[in-house]
Amino acid sequence: MPGPSGEAAATVSYRALWRVSGLPALVLLTLLARLGGSVWSLGLVLFVLQRFHSPTLAGLTAAASWLPGLICSPIAGALLDRHGRKGLIALDLAVAVSMVIGIMALDQSGRLAAEVLVLIVGLGSITLPLTMTGTRSLMPLLTPQPLWDRMNALDSASLNVTELLGPVVAGLLFASVGGLGTLLVVAAAWLAALSLTALLRDAPTSRGDDSLFRETLAGLRYTLAKPSLRALAVILPIANAGWGMLTIALPVLVLGLPHGGGPQVGLLWSVFGLTALIGSLLFGRVRTSGREARLIGGLGLVSAVGLGVVAVSALGPATLLVAAAGMVIAGVADGGASVALFSFRQRVMDPAWFGRSLAISISLSVMGLPLGSALAGPLLGWSVPGTLAIAAGLELLGAGLALGLLRHSQPPASAPGG
């Protein structure tokens, strides 16, 4: 059984999680890294829209902040299983801080061309899976299995807290100190997370005699051999493409309003984050084992309704109020679905393959985000409400596929050929 045994496993409660050795430091580091990432996601879009006045470039830059790292994620996963998480998480955070400082320096010197910005952001994203997957895969390795649902709810809640605070911080900072000040806060958050890596407790690694290339291929074979993970690789990119479109379309919608600005964009995303936090904590108390497929698909349908309400908000008066109502609906559903999804992945994977399999599965799932962001730019030139409607339709399609393709979690099997 993964994770330490003992007193922490005796009581299934949130309080028991804080007695798990090394977990509090990991949760705090993850929170800071995600907070920086949340401010970065919105702040980068606002920075590009202000600096270059181009929704298309904003979409391309947002795609560059994800896509290269996702492509490299199978290698990153093999490195995590081979060499441990602690040092590689520190490497990624150091690269991220350097990337932001580089962008700031070039902008201050007047040498930040559009193609240079996209290149720097793309290069900086290459190491992204080391923190994204490193923290996520370390949590179940440190936590007793009876506490997994609580741990997943706490992890999902930490993500929702950053989705709540990050956009507000980004919007207020952008309005008060501009793009460079916003980027400076991002660098500070990631630097603080980097300092916490000294307190991390790593899990034992399973380094073998195979080369990194062979271990990467073994991770791909293991992941793609599992029907449940193959199904997620079809379902989640489609649904996440809708969310990728929303990250570009929502700022364009709000900034086009008579009194719209960065704070209003941040407020809408924070409404989503707050309600997702509530949803994740509520569903963390629900037994998900054997029910994950219905929860993921059913809550996905509710989330699609919420995105549909956001799309309708662009057609009439009270745009901000109607959009906020849509974000509430989508947020509660997304928070609950995230808990079920985290638990589903863990239950169908062998713990020895968490690094490789999680890196590959998450990267395939998240691939829709940059693709949706890149598509949003040209589509917004056609129609803002139409782009938002397409985003809702993609979420609806993903939910329908989840109900049709996903099966309940099964005990993990050993790797093929591994």
Tell me, what DSSP letter sits at residue 143?
S
CA-angle at 81, arms to 218 and 95, nearest 5° = 115
**pLDDT at site 209:** 62
Mean pLDDT of the chain: 87
The dihedral through the CA atoms of 274, 399, 125, 280 has a sign that is: positive
- pLDDT tens digits along 133-150: 899 889 988 888 888 778
b/e for 215-225, b at 16 or more Cβ within 10 A? bbbbbbebbbe
C-alpha R_g of the chain: 20
pLDDT of residue 288: 65
What average pLDDT does the segment 383-391 reach? 96
- pLDDT over 70, % of the chain: 93
Q: Which of 302, 263, 271 is nearest to 395 (CA)?
A: 302
pLDDT at position 81: 84
Can you give the pLDDT at residue 410? 56
pLDDT at 12: 64
User: Would the pLDDT of 356 be above 90?
Assistant: no
Closest CA to 66 of 359, 371, 345, 395: 371
What pLDDT, in 10s, does the model give residues 199-250?
998 887 766 667 778 888 888 888 888 888 889 989 999 999 999 999 999 9
pLDDT of res. 309: 97
19-66 tens-digit pLDDT: 888 889 999 999 999 999 999 998 999 899 888 989 889 989 988 998
How much is the pLDDT for 5?
A: 42
Each residue of 288-340: pLDDT tens digit? 667 778 889 999 999 999 999 999 999 988 899 999 999 999 999 998 898 88
**Rounded average pLDDT over 393-402:** 96
- Structure tokens that stand for 287 in this block: 């037994």
**What pLDDT sits at residue 236?**
92
What is the pLDDT averaged over residues 252-279? Answer: 88
Q: Could you count the other beta carbons within 10 Å of the beta carbon of residue 146?
A: 17
Domains of the chain, first to last: 21-405 (1.20.1250.20)
pLDDT of res. 212: 79
Predicted pLDDT of residue 9: 41
pLDDT of residue 408: 60
**pLDDT for 208:** 60
Contact (Cβ atoms closer than 8 angstroms) between residue 163 and residue 327 = no
Which tokens hold the place of 28?
């705090």
Q: How far apart (Å, rounded) are the C-alpha atoms in residues 398 and 330?
A: 14
Span 146-175, average pLDDT: 83
Statement: residue 386 has pLDDT above 50: yes
Q: Which helix (H) or strand (E) holds 74?
A: helix 73-83
Q: Is the predicted pLDDT of residue 71 greater than 60, yes or no?
A: yes
Q: What is the mean pLDDT of residues 374-398?
A: 94
pLDDT above 80: residue 167: yes
Q: What is the three-class DSSP state of 265?
A: helix
Confidence of residue 1 (pLDDT cuts 50, 70, 90): very low
DSSP state of 203: P
Structure tokens at 262: 């960065």
Query: pTM (2 decimals)?
Result: 0.75
Give the whole-angstrom CA distance, residue 122 versus residue 126: 7
Instruction: Report the C-alpha gap between 62 and 253 in whole angstroms.
Output: 17
Of 10 and 123, the structure prediction assigns the larger pLDDT to: 123
Location of structure tokens 């309080």: 15
User: Which residue in 406, 34, 35 sits closest to 232, CA to CA?
Assistant: 406
Compute the residue count for the chain: 418
